[in-house]
Homo-oligomer: A and B are copies of this chain.
Amino acid sequence: ESVARQQNVPRLPPDTNRVEFDQAIDELKQILGEEHVAVNDKPLVDGWYMEHPNTHDAFHIALQEDLVSSAVVYPGTVGEVQDIVRWANKHKIPIYPISMGRNIGYGGTAPRVSGSVVIDLGKRMNRILNIDAENASCLLEPGVSYFALYEEVQRRKLPLWIDTPDVGGGSVLGNAIDRGVGYTPYGDHFANHCGLEIVLPNGELLRTGMGALPGKDGGDNPTWQSFQPAYGPYSDGIFSQSNFGIVVRMGMWLMPETGHQSYLITFPRDEDFPDIVEIIRPLAQQRILGNIPQLRHVIQELATTARPKSDFYDGIGPIPRDIIREHASSLPVGDVSWVFYGTQYGDAASIATQLDSIRAAFSKIAGAKMLLPGDLPPSHYLQSRVSVCSGVPVLKELDWLNWVPNAAHLFFSPIVPTRGKDAQVVHEIVVRLHAKYGIDLFPTLCVAGREMHYIVNIVYDRSSLDEKRRAAVLMREMIAETAAEGYGEYRTHILFADMVAGTYNWGNNALMRFNETIKDALDPNGILAPGRNGIWPKRFRGKGWEI
């Protein structure tokens, strides 16, 4: 996977030359120590999830060396992060903070502006600063992964759960800042954070929420992890999915452990889709569905076996529906179409009642069938949902990356109302465009209540320029077509950030002009993550950076 680089190395930051860059880097090494600054001039290695590079986007959709940093820097303290920010302002060099950089499918560790200096916060700033068992909360640095937090909670034998995404190697802080999702009742990660500490683009340090009120005798505020908004404007939201600050500490709520029961429900026909959604809506709205359940297609029953597509089909193009059917028949769930993965919480009696209501509700669809973990073999995907949905991080979800050789993937993530006819509109666009570009469709609908994150995993062979091109065009067409119907993405890969931001253009781009006003006020030199989420500071705006 290590490929010789074609372009000049290192890739310089914009508006600088080699001499200036080298001088600036020398200065940075003086501040942080030689060993904590690495110029990005070696061959690029894609690695894998647990050993991912911080030099480029390991799941490249452009050329491997298109989105690269000039250097990576490893601060060890909040003060050093402030030093780096002041250094960047002095030299007008863009910096790009990541917590752990496992933002795979959305850009990984790559900066939006090539040649930026990536600040890898997580490598050295990885302390669990506090776990408050009484308050069921914690205070974390950027480098704390779900696995690390989970292990510490276990070590201390606390009756607390952590909410984890499908894969547990990411940063609890980084994922929340990017407004990621998990699958327990605490699945909306940003909604369950409480209190931030932020280095602003001018190098100043800010605490939000109750943290802005000093604790007794100079300690932390005793309610910093208890109450989110505090007094005055509640600013935390503008530090999510943005380039307005570097979050160096975050409080998170932990869930008190409780009884749980995972299950799946299968539906026989592809056309059941809108009806399934109609049944989900009231259940979700009434909070009968305890967690954030997922609705998946039977193709994922094949993919989550971790077997390659070639095991099932050796033709070209997407695997045909009848071939899926044929193989599904011999898999545990059988020849079905949609599969709903849910979990209920509480004591045994209450769970039994809940399962009864849910079974009854879905039984309106002919052939719907509920299965419990005991009905399925130990290797079945549902067993890993039992973990995820009870706060135990896993890696199982990576299995479907075996589908094609050199697999990389891209997420397409529109928000659709939990309403059959709307979901159907989006689904039809997605189905049609996948067929058009000859790509297998892996849909996962994460049900949050009044809406669903309709997550499409576009899996492609990153050694094939043709597959990359088709994946990227598919992405652009899906963004455009769904936007024309009024549906927008909640998150996207950095390469599509401008386009997605551009769909949020009501009132002559009022939102973007508002974001730009704030960006320019906070970051006059435009050094912090220019272009992230489509927000370009004055220095870059309208100068050809947007794509």
Instruction: Enumerate chain A interface residues (CB-CB to B < 8 A).
Output: 134-137, 179, 185, 190, 194, 200, 204-208, 210-216, 219, 221-223, 225-227, 229-242, 244, 253, 256, 258, 281-282, 285-287, 349-350, 353, 415-419, 422, 448, 450-451, 483-492, 500-501, 503-507, 510-511, 513-515, 517-518, 520-522, 533-535
Contacts and interface: CB of A to CB of B under 8 A. Distances in A.
Contacts of A234: 179, 190, 237-238, 240-241
B237 A514 contact: no
B204 A486 contact: no
B286 A487 contact: no
B210 A415 contact: yes
Given A258-B286, A511-B207, A230 B504 contact: yes
Contacts of A353: 349-350
Contacts of A350: 350, 353
A518 to B, nearest CB: 6
The copy count of this chain in the complex is 2
Count chain B CB atoms within 10 A of each CB in A204, A491, A533 and give the residue with the most. Answer: A204
Contacts of A535: 232-233
In the A-B complex, the 10 residue pairs with the smallest Cβ-Cβ separation, listed nearest first, are A234-B237, A521-B521, A233-B242, A226-B451, A212-B504, A226-B450, A212-B511, A213-B488, A215-B486, A233-B238
A418 B134 CA distance: 9
Contact of A231 (B185, B225, B492, B518): B492
Given A210-B415, A231-B488, 13 more contacts: A204-B514, A207-B511, A212-B511, A213-B486, A214-B505, A221-B486, A223-B417, A223-B451, A223-B488, A230-B415, A232-B511, A232-B534, A233-B535
Nearest to A240: B234
A335 to B, nearest CB: 33
Contacts of A533: 231-233
A445 to B, nearest CB: 13
Contacts of A510: 204-207, 212
Contacts of A287: 185
Given A416-B223, A417-B223, A486-B223, A235 B507 contact: no
A486 B135 contact: no
A285 B136 contact: yes
Given A256-B285, A416-B223, A229 B190 contact: yes
A214 B486 contact: yes
A239 to B, nearest CB: 7
Contacts of A210: 415, 488
B213 A422 contact: no
Contacts of A237: 229, 233-238
B483 A213 contact: yes
Contact of A491 (B134, B231, B518): B231
28 contacts: A135-B450, A136-B285, A179-B229, A204-B514, A205-B510, A206-B514, A207-B511, A210-B488, A211-B506, A212-B510, A214-B486, A214-B506, A221-B506, A225-B450, A226-B418, A229-B237, A230-B504, A233-B237, A233-B515, A234-B240, A234-B241, A235-B237, A237-B238, A256-B285, A258-B286, A349-B353, A350-B353, A521-B521
A231 B490 contact: yes
Contacts of A206: 507, 510-511, 514
Given A238-B233, A486-B223, A207 B507 contact: yes
Nearest to A287: B185
Contacts of A417: 135, 222-223, 226
A103 to B, nearest CB: 15
Nearest to A483: B213
A535 to B, nearest CB: 7
